[in-house]
């Protein structure tokens, strides 16, 4: 997908596949997003040398269109038609005056003055080549001074900031997540392309030094410019494809770059995100000016979380999807959100950025395809624990009406998920009465029957009652390591559900020997374990008579589930 980005003084315009997206910062400080079908497609040929010409001429037309579009965004918001007409007349007069002034300055500073100084420096009788080199040096120096002079105008600085922001968004991708300290220039940046072409033209024309009359010189210069446009594009294209050569482009990029702020980069990312959705989703509607366009909101939330160290893209998706009442796939089809939805999304994003988990923000979490209410009284079930549930569900098929015990049930996630997906008779115990209330509520909401008992491990169970499978996700964090945990876990999950003693193995030592008295013949014991605890837990199980001990790794290739059979 070819994307062509053109900066304006308050945003960026992206062209691609007959579509155009304009993302900008409005006069009132809000981000705006508009998208349109592009009648006059900016289609760049892929034929060498010919593509440079179309990039040049179509690019100039697209750039002027982008500047007009950005001007209209703020120009007609709070003025009457008569005032707007007068305003445009004044702007047109100023533009004509600036253009005329630029032509006069260019004629003197880039034509007459360097030529005169060259003759003075070398002399009439001097060699033409040294004189041409002097003239070339003066032309390029004046050209650089000419462009640097424009930085005196704030509107030009903004144009250059958005220009650099667009390059960062295109080259470095998710800039906020990557935290890259530097991003190479983009050689085929349109403003850089223009500067490069003119510098190349100066070099060729001046070194040739042809002078055979006004009309011949005019035609000659036009032909040289056309050649420089074609060749210049190919040179920059070659530089673009070589990682190490990209930095050469800074020689001209420095003239059209200015350090962007986070807002500039966010604005560029919004435009590129929306264009990506337009070109990949059939039927996505074009939008007029929107205060809360989805792409704007999505990038704002993603960047806010990334700045706080939350780099998991799924959290942005889940946060927005939950508030909109949609799933993660459906939100990509949303074009805009209401003011109320926007406020709710940003409040939730602010809480998440401060370290509060999404589970606690919304009061529930998704686990094994089911929804579970959670609070600070219970441990929020983790995705890795689904592996434990999956292994138990496979094992219970080997028993007729399997009887399963969940030790330390917490929110009831393991017990309820097993009961929902099997015919097993499930009993769940916990030492916390508050946790049992949450677990009972989750069983009821998910329409399953689970026997919940208040018990400290096996203490509250009938002496003769035995189970085919005992499963537990006990506290396994070493006491000294709790303070090193992520703030989200440390402050939102109960310490009772985390602290596994000095080495994190206290509960394994208590459960494994006692489980031998509560398992039926060929009964199985399943645990979730912490990183690096596999060898020690296997040893404890072997010492208590467990056989066929197996370890299952999680999605990160870390030993996460261990099980064994007791005869």
Q: DSSP letter for 310, please.
A: -
pLDDT confidence of residue 81 = 47
Domains, the chain, in order of start with CATH, read: 4-262 (no CATH), 364-566 (3.40.50.150)
Count CB atoms within 10 A of the CB of residue 405: 28
Burial state string for 469-508 with b = 16 or more CB within 10 A and e = fewer than 16: bbbbbbbbbbbeebeeeeebbeebbbebbbbbbeebbbbb
Tokens of 1: 């997908």
pLDDT confidence of residue 447 = 94
pLDDT confidence of residue 210 = 61
| 498 contacts 482 by C-beta, under 8 angstroms | yes
For residues 19 and 3, what is the distance between their CA atoms, to the nearest angstrom? 10
Residue among 100, 131, 130 nearest 118 (CA):
131
Tokens of 289: 């000016």
Helices (H) and strands (E) in the chain, counts: 20, 13
For residues 197 and 452, what is the distance between their CA atoms, to the nearest angstrom? 77
Q: Cα 171 from chain centroid?
A: 13
pLDDT confidence of residue 77 = 46
What is the pLDDT tens value at each position of the chain, 567 positions in all? 578 888 888 888 888 878 888 888 876 667 778 888 876 555 555 677 788 888 888 888 888 887 777 766 665 444 444 554 454 455 545 545 555 555 555 555 555 555 555 555 555 455 555 666 666 676 777 777 777 777 787 878 888 899 999 888 888 765 554 445 578 888 889 998 988 888 887 777 777 766 666 676 678 778 888 888 999 899 888 888 887 777 777 777 888 888 888 888 888 888 888 888 888 877 677 776 556 778 778 888 887 888 787 777 677 888 888 888 777 667 777 777 887 888 888 888 888 888 777 777 887 888 888 888 887 777 778 888 999 999 999 999 999 889 999 999 999 999 999 999 999 999 999 988 999 999 999 999 999 999 999 999 999 898 889 999 999 999 887 766 555 555 555 455 554 545 557 778 889 999 999 999 999 989 999 999 988 899 999 999 999 999 999 999 988 889 999 999 998
Tokens of 87: 């305003």
For residues 209 and 220, what is the distance between their CA atoms, to the nearest angstrom? 11
The dihedral region occupied by 355, where left means phi > 0, alpha psi between -120 and 50, and beta the remainder, is left
What are the two backbone dihedrals, phi and then psi, of residue 422, each rounded to the nearest 5 degrees? -155, 175
For residues 555 and 440, what is the distance between their CA atoms, to the nearest angstrom? 30
SS (H, E, C) 390-445: HHHHHHHCCCCCCEEEEECCCCCHHHHHHHHCCCCEEEEEECCHHHHHHHHHHHHH
For residues 55 and 57, what is the distance between their CA atoms, to the nearest angstrom? 6
For residues 446 and 417, what is the distance between their CA atoms, to the nearest angstrom? 9
Please list the alpha-helical segments (H only) found in 241-293. 250-253, 262-280
Q: DSSP letter for 494, please.
A: -
Residue 8 burial by CB count (10 A; 0-12/13-18/19+): exposed, middle or buried? buried
Q: At what angle do helices 128-149 and 113-122 cross, to 10 degrees?
A: 140
For residues 131 and 236, what is the distance between their CA atoms, to the nearest angstrom? 29
pLDDT confidence of residue 341 = 86
- Which residues, 6 or more positions from 329, have their beta carbon under 8 angstroms from its beta carbon? none
For residues 328 and 310, what is the distance between their CA atoms, to the nearest angstrom? 18
Q: DSSP letter for 20, please.
A: E
| 27 contacts 74 by C-beta, under 8 angstroms | yes
């Amino acid at each position: 997908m070819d994307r062509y980005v053109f900066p304006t003084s308050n945003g960026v315009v992206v062209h691609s596949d007959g579509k155009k997206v304009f993302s900008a910062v409005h006069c009132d400080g809000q981000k705006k997003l508009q998208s349109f079908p592009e009648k006059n497609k900016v289609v760049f040929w892929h034929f060498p040398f010919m593509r440079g010409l179309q990039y040049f001429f179509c690019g100039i037309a697209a750039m002027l269109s982008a500047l007009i579009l950005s001007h209209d965004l703020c120009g007609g918001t709070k003025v009457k038609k008569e005032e707007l007409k007068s305003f445009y007349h004044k702007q047109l007069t100023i533009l004509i005056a600036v253009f005329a002034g630029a032509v006069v300055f260019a004629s003197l500073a880039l034509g007459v003055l360097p030529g005169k100084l060259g003759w003075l420096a070398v002399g009439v009788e001097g060699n033409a080549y040294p004189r041409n080199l002097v003239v070339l040096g003066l032309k390029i120096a004046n050209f650089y001074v000419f462009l640097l002079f424009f930085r005196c105008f704030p509107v030009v600085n903004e144009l250059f900031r958005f220009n650099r922001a667009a390059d960062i968004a295109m080259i470095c991708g998710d800039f906020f997540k990557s935290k890259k300290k530097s991003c190479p220039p983009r050689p085929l940046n349109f403003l850089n392309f223009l500067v490069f072409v003119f510098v190349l033209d100066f070099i060729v024309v001046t070194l040739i030094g042809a002078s055979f009359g006004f009309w011949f010189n005019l035609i000659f210069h036009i032909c040289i410019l056309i050649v420089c446009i074609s060749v210049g594009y190919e040179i920059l294209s070659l530089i673009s494809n070589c990682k190490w050569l990209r930095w050469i482009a800074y020689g001209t990029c420095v003239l059209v770059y200015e350090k962007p702020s986070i807002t500039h980069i966010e604005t560029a990312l919004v435009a590129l995100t929306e264009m990506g959705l337009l070109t990949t989703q059939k039927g996505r509607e074009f939008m007029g000016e929107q205060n809360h366009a989805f792409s704007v909101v999505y990038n704002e939330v993603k960047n806010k979380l990334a700045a706080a160290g939350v780099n998991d893209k799924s959290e942005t998706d889940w946060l927005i999807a939950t508030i909109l009442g949609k799933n993660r796939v459906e939100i990509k089809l949303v074009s805009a959100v209401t003011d109320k939805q926007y406020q709710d999304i940003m409040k939730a994003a602010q809480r998440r950025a401060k370290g509060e988990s999404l589970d606690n923000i919304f009061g529930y979490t998704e686990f094994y395809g089911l929804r579970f209410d959670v609070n600070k009284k219970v441990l929020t079930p983790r995705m890795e624990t689904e592996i434990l549930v999956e292994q138990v569900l496979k094992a219970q098929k080997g028993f007729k009406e399997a009887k399963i015990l969940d030790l330390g049930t917490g929110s009831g996630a393991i017990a309820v998920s097993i009961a929902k997906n099997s015919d097993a008779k499930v009993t769940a115990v916990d030492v916390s009465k508050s946790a049992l209330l949450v677990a009972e509520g989750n069983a009821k909401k998910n329409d399953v029957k689970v026997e919940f008992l208040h018990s400290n491990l096996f203490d509250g169970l009938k002496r003769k009652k035995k189970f085919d499978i005992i499963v537990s996700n006990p506290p396994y964090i070493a006491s000294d390591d709790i303070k090193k945990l992520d703030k989200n876990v440390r402050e939102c999950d109960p310490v009772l559900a985390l602290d596994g003693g000095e080495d994190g193995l206290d509960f394994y030592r208590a459960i494994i020997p006692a489980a031998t008295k509560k398992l039926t013949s060929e009964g199985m014991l399943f645990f979730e374990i912490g990183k690096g605890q596999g060898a020690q837990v296997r040893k404890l199980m072997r010492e208590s008579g467990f056989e066929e001990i197996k370890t299952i790794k999680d999605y990160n290739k870390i030993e996460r589930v261990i099980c064994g059979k007791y005869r």
